[in-house]
Amino acid sequence: MAKKKTKEEKRNVREVNWLIALLMSIFFGWIGVDRFIMGKVGTGILKLITLGGFGIWWLIDLILIATKYKFKNVEWVEN
């Protein structure tokens, strides 16, 4: 049975256009743009400093976004 979200949890959820995030991850994921779009500034900065974790982190994020992985506080939308 699915757990109902509280009002605070609903407020913290960021709706992210999946196609935009995927395209940004493909072209600019190595500098962390995809993480910034999802509201994950801290990991976005780390990804920027390490140039996408030397390419490994970029590839992993690309796969996760392409498969619509359920990141915490991110809801994928398609509009």
Instruction: Report pLDDT for 11.
Output: 73
DSSP H or E stretch at residue 12? helix 7-12
pLDDT for 7-49, tens place per residue?
Answer: 655 678 999 999 999 999 999 999 999 999 999 999 999 999 9
Residue 36: HSE in the Cβ half-sphere, 13 Å Cα cutoff = 13
If one counts the domains in the chain, the total is: 1
- Give this prediction's pTM: 0.82
Contacts of 28 (CB under 8 A, 6+ apart): 34
Alpha carbons 74 and 29: distance in angstroms, whole number: 17
Residue 5 has pLDDT above 70, yes or no: no
Residue 23 within a domain:
yes
Instruction: Report pLDDT for 70.
Output: 96
Q: Which domain holds residue 43?
A: 13-68
pLDDT for 41-66, tens place per residue?
Answer: 999 999 999 999 999 999 999 999 99
Residue 78 within a domain:
no
Residue 56 within a domain:
yes
Alpha carbons 10 and 25: distance in angstroms, whole number: 25
